Amino acid sequence: MAEAWSRALLVAHLIHEASQNYHLLTLRTDTLTADEFYQKLGFKTHPSWEHTTHHLQLNQMEYYP
């Protein structure tokens, strides 16, 4: 449980830091466990883009390449 909490805390910190300079975070994963983890943190899987499985919009500006 503590390990999962630390992973979530680390990603939350990365999201916070990225939001200072970026509008969108993207990532690619290939496991169901990681998919569930990132979706619980607010990452979306749709719309889907090439080379990315999940994305998180960091501000109100919509971004669809």
Q: Answer yes or no: is 33 within a domain.
A: yes
Pairwise CA distance, residues 65 & 51, whole Å: 12
Domain span holding position 16: 2-57
Q: Answer yes or no: is 63 within a domain.
A: no
Percentage of residues of the chain with pLDDT beyond 90 = 75
Which pair of structure tokens corresponds to residue 54? 């999940």
Q: Structurally, how many domains does the chain consist of? A: 1
Q: Answer yes or no: is 22 within a domain.
A: yes
Q: Answer yes or no: is 28 within a domain.
A: yes
Q: Taking 60 as the threshold, does the pLDDT of residue 65 lie above it?
A: no
Q: Answer yes or no: is 40 within a domain.
A: yes
Q: Taking 80 as the threshold, does the pLDDT of residue 43 lie above it?
A: yes
Residue listed under structure tokens 């919009």: 57
Q: Which of 46, 49, 27 is nearest to 38 (CA)?
A: 27
Q: Answer yes or no: is 65 within a domain.
A: no
